[in-house]
Amino acid sequence: MKSTSIPVSVTVIGLGNMGVALADAFLKGGHPTTVWNRSADRAKGLVEKGAVLAGSVAEAIVASSLVVVCLSTYKVMQELLGPLEKELSRRVIVNLTTGTPEDARKTAKWVSERGGQYLDGAIMAVPQMIGLPETLIFYGGSKALFEAYEPTLKLLGGKAAYLSEDHGVPLIYDLSLLTMMYGAWYGSMHAHALLSTADITGTEFLPYATNWVNHLIAPLLTDPVAARARDEGNFTTDVSNLNTNKLGLEHIIHASKEQGIPVDWLTPLLALATQKVAEGYGADSFDRVIEAIRKPLVK
């Protein structure tokens, strides 16, 4: 395994906004950097900073011991790298392409069969955050491989977090965090749509939303005691039970329908709460619905 005491040569395949940011971070860190992209003009700024533009994907891969891939999909990655069995041999592939856990696991097997080594990762940041000490990037695969290249990978984000030997785990973390983000995001948009029916602006609402998020929502979602209770299946509560929350959901849905606001995203949530109440868990915390999420609704 290659020592990282001397800057290793790095190749970045894929020069979208994120790929450009990754390559730029390696250049700033003093690593000899080769780049490749279908549209070569995307590399112009990087070449001016010292990067080498490869003439083909094969040339890009053999140029470096560490190959970082950041493409639109795993399918595109397979199309590009599929014909390059010899080139992949003895290369370390770090894939930062967005996909599913099974995509990552299948790709790890595919690279291994061709004599390469593989880490899968998930970037929890926008391109402008690449290279910052607080930037979080998840990694999965061989722990020894990650540790060997950790100093180099930390150039991309100071919070380089190794999670598991299972290559799919980084994407499970990634998609789980994104699920929280999109749920909160859509909830916020629904709230603003509801407010607009009374000519209330987002600016007027913001102070109250900020207070609500900071003092109730964020603590609720990040409470270690609550997380442990959920892990243990302990759904007792003396605060706000399922009966109360079911009623709250019914009010939101009814009011939204009155104003012509879609409730498609809330209806399944109410169905989950209704199921658990019908099973006799109305006095438990709302967290009890996780049982219905883990198991399909009874039809």
Cβ(208)–Cβ(202) below 8 Å: no
Residue 219's pLDDT is what? Answer: 92
The predicted pLDDT at position 4 comes to 43
Beta-bridge mates of residue 241? 285
pTM metric for this prediction = 0.89
Residue with tokens 């004599």: 115
Map tokens 């859509």 to a residue: 186
pLDDT for position 5: 56
Residues of the chain falling short of pLDDT 70: 1-6, 296-299
pLDDT tens digit sequence for 136-148:
999 999 999 999 9
For residue 124, give the nearest of 113, 109, 112, 139 by alpha carbon: 139
The reported pLDDT for the residue numbered 2 is 45
Backbone φ and ψ for 52, nearest 5 degrees, come out as: -105, 125
Q: Reduced to 3 states, what is the DSSP secondary structure of residue 268?
A: helix
Q: What is the pLDDT of residues 175-202, one digit of tens each?
A: 999 999 999 999 999 999 999 999 999 9
Is residue 223 helix, strand or coil? coil
Task: Supply the pLDDT for residue 296.
Answer: 58
